[in-house]
Homo-oligomer: A and B are copies of this chain.
Amino acid sequence: MKGLTEVTVLRLGHRPRRDKRLTTHVCLTARAFGARRILLDAPDKTIVSTVEDVTERFGGPFDIEVREAWRKVIADHPGPSMHLTMYGQPHTEVVAELDSPEELLIVLGAEKVPREVYDLATYNVSVGNQPHSEVAALAAVMLEVLGPGPLTQKRTGAELRIEPSKRGKQVESAD
């Protein structure tokens, strides 16, 4: 179940004042680990512009969109949806059961998530039944679904490219 799936991430419960940095980490993790787009349930111009700026400099394709009608996003999604929660079923088992869906929706909340999300999602999925971080959980699930390939894949339209380096920083123009 690696490499064939288009992943959309939905970030729920984003509070622009309180969650700006964590949601930014969620967005950039989604992009770096190979998601096609991220949807936020609350408008936040700062985050949209930060993420679009990273995509412009380091390449795409990756979209960020605000979708306040998040129930409809989950209900209308054409493929399976996975809600990440410490209470769910092991991510390795759930991902192994998927038949290479063309479109996977990964749903992750900020702090408390409305109870209905547990019912709306196709799967409730945990990355270990321990309290940790939605950023770490997203990374682990993306790795399980897509493998490490997207992390080092060439991006389209990048202005910059970082060359792996033993010591120091090597940034090149991406022509």
Contact = CB atoms under 8 A, between A and B. Distances in A.
A173 interface: no
Contact of A135 (B25, B92, B152, B169): B25
A90 interface: yes
Chain multiplicity (copies): 2
B152 A129 contact: yes
Nearest to A30: B132
A162 B32 contact: no
Contact of A164 (B21, B129, B148, B165): B129
Interface string A94-129: 000000000000000000000000110001101111
Contact of A25 (B22, B89, B92): B22
Interface residues of A, number: 52
By DSSP majority rule, is chain A's interface helix, strand, loop, or mixed? mixed
Nearest to A26: B133
Given A21-B22, A29-B136, A32-B132, 12 more contacts: A22-B22, A29-B132, A32-B128, A87-B171, A88-B165, A88-B166, A90-B164, A118-B167, A128-B151, A129-B152, A137-B139, A143-B143
